[in-house]
Amino acid sequence: MAKNKKADSVNLVQRPIRKWAPLFILPTFAAFAIGFVWPFIQGIYLSFCNFNIPTDAKWVGLQNYAKVFKDAGFLNAFWNTAGFAVVSIILINVVAFFIAYALTQKMRGANLYRTVFFMPNLIGGVVLGYIWSMIFDGILKNYSTYLTAEPTYGFWGLVILVAWQQIGYMMIIYIAGLQAVPEDMLEAARIDGATGAQTLFRVIIPNVMPSITTCTFLTLTNSFKMFDQNMALTGGLPSVMENGAKINTTELLALNIYSTYNINKNYHGVAQAKAVIFFILVAVLAIAQQSATRSKEVQQ
């Protein structure tokens, strides 16, 4: 009986829509094919080629990939990115969680503070990089130095800038998670005489685990894909020469791929090979992180 009913509704709703497929999915699918599917396939193919433009591509096998693994600048960018990701994931999530926790307590001005902390997310990365390079240079001037004088300045400068920007974003997600913690659970903890710390670690944190999953996922992928802020703040400077190769010391992976492409046309294939490695890295991390945190979530 139930099965019949389902079949009826399928016929009633599904069949007429099917006829309208050209209207409903064709425009998006066509744009998706142009904007994603074709460039993706072509990108994989070209990573095995020497090319200036796609029509003059010559197959070279794994040569580009071999060059990537010998590229000191790429390895440097990889370690920069990994370090940057670890530091910013911890910093952003810990600070954002505690700001969210405090703002969901009874507190005057909570809405105003929420508004202020979120604001930087509305401003583009390039503009933010520009604003902060002015601020850092202004501060470092007092010590007779400047932002691109030392790699460490640029690294921590980027950490500060990105934390300043993303804390507000993650805070919003944590606030939504905290507000969804069931009130009766908190009350039960209170009645049982749980201390503030016990309530936080035993009741609240397990309940906001989905938000923690989301936020660590977002900060992880954001750090790996970081480009605008990196380019606008230091542009990879300062650069050093190592065994005859130029290394931009504060470059992250995304910027390294971009600048490799712009060296000259002999590097187009190498840059595309870097992009493929970068894609695999981001995809593996995203999937691994998802399954790792999901398994820690409360089963309800």
Partner 1 sequence: MKKKLNDYTPLSKILTVFFGALSLVWIIPIFEVINNSLKKNEFINLDPFALPSAESYVGFNNYLTGLTFGNYPFLKSASYSLLITVVSVVLILLFCSMSAWYIARVNSTISKVFYYLCLFSMIVPFQMVMFTLTFTADKLNLNTPYTIPIVYLGFGAGLAIFMFLGFVKGLPLEIEEAAAIDGCGPVRTFFNVVLPMLKPTLISVGILELMWVWNDYLLPYLVLDRTKYMTIPIHVQYLKGSYGTVDLGATMAVIMMSIIPIIIVYMFCQKHIIKGVAAGAVKG
* Cα-to-chain-centroid distance, residue 8: 45
Q: Using alpha carbons only, how large is the chain's radius of gyration in Å?
A: 25
124 binds partner 1 per the rule CB under 8 A: yes
Structure tokens at 55: 């029509």
Binding residue for partner 1 (CB under 8 A) from 86, 94, 107, 263?
107
Closest approach, Cβ 15 to partner 1, in A, equals 9
Candidates 5-13, 67-75, 81-89, 236-244: pick the segment binding partner 1 (CB under 8 A). Answer: 5-13
* Those residues with Cβ within 8 angstroms of residue 28's Cβ, 6 or more apart along the chain or in another chain: none
Cα(183)–Cα(179) distance, integer angstroms = 9
Binding residue for partner 1 (CB under 8 A) from 114, 236, 247, 267?
114
Decide whether 29 or 201 has the Cβ nearer to partner 1: 29
| Rounded (10°) angle between helices 72-103 and 151-179 | 40
207-266 binders of partner 1 (CB under 8 A): 210-211, 213-215, 217-218, 221, 224-225, 227-228, 231-232, 253-254, 257-258, 261
Q: With contact defined as beta carbons under 8 Å apart, do 278 and 258 qualify?
A: no
User: What SS3 class is residue 112?
Assistant: helix
266-295 binders of partner 1 (CB under 8 A): 268, 271-272, 275-276, 278-279, 282-283, 286-287, 290
Cis peptide before 238 (omega within 30 of 0): yes
Binding residue for partner 1 (CB under 8 A) from 62, 127, 245, 298?
127
Window 45-84: contact mask with partner 1 (x via CB under 8 A)? -x------xx------------------------------
Binding residue for partner 1 (CB under 8 A) from 118, 186, 206, 237?
118
Cα(249)–Cα(118) distance, integer angstroms = 31
